[in-house]
């Protein structure tokens, strides 16, 4: 029996414009709203990411983060 889809948590999220454009693009292609798309991505995080690429991208993002905040 499939799990019922309930949005039980709501939180404020700050995203970069590029990140939000990517989320909107993904959600439109998948036929989901942005909240549903985020839920899908986080519920299936391990299967939609490549661990090696993720750690590399995270290091790059972290290295640029302070400069991007200015």
Average pLDDT over residues 24-35: 95
Contact 34, 23 (CB under 8 A): yes
Cβ-contact 23, 30 below 8 angstroms: no
Domain, as residue range, for 48: 22-69
Is position 3 within any domain? no
CA angle 6, 40, 60 (to 5 degrees): 135
Tell me the C-alpha distance between 67 and 18, whole Å: 16
State what percent of residues in the chain have pLDDT above 70: 93
Give this prediction's pTM. 0.75
Question: Does residue 62 fall inside a structural domain?
Answer: yes
Answer whether residue 8 is part of any domain: no
Please compute the mean of the pLDDT values over residues 20-49 and round it to a whole number: 94
| pLDDT at site 21 | 97
* Mean pLDDT (whole number) for 31-49: 92
Confidence grade of residue 1 (pLDDT, cut at 50, 70, 90): low
**For the residues 10-28, what does the mean pLDDT come to?**
92
Query: How many domains does the chain contain in total?
Result: 1
Question: Residue 59: enclosing H or E segment and its boundaries?
Answer: helix 51-69
Q: Is residue 52 part of a domain?
A: yes
């Amino acid at each position: 029996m499939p799990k019922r889809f309930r949005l039980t948590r709501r939180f404020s999220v700050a995203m970069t414009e590029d990140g939000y454009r990517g989320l909107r693009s993904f959600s439109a292609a998948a036929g989901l709203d942005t909240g549903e798309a985020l839920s899908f991505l986080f519920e299936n995080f391990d299967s939609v990411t490549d661990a090696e690429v993720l750690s590399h991208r995270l290091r790059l993002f972290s290295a640029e983060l302070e400069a991007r905040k200015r």
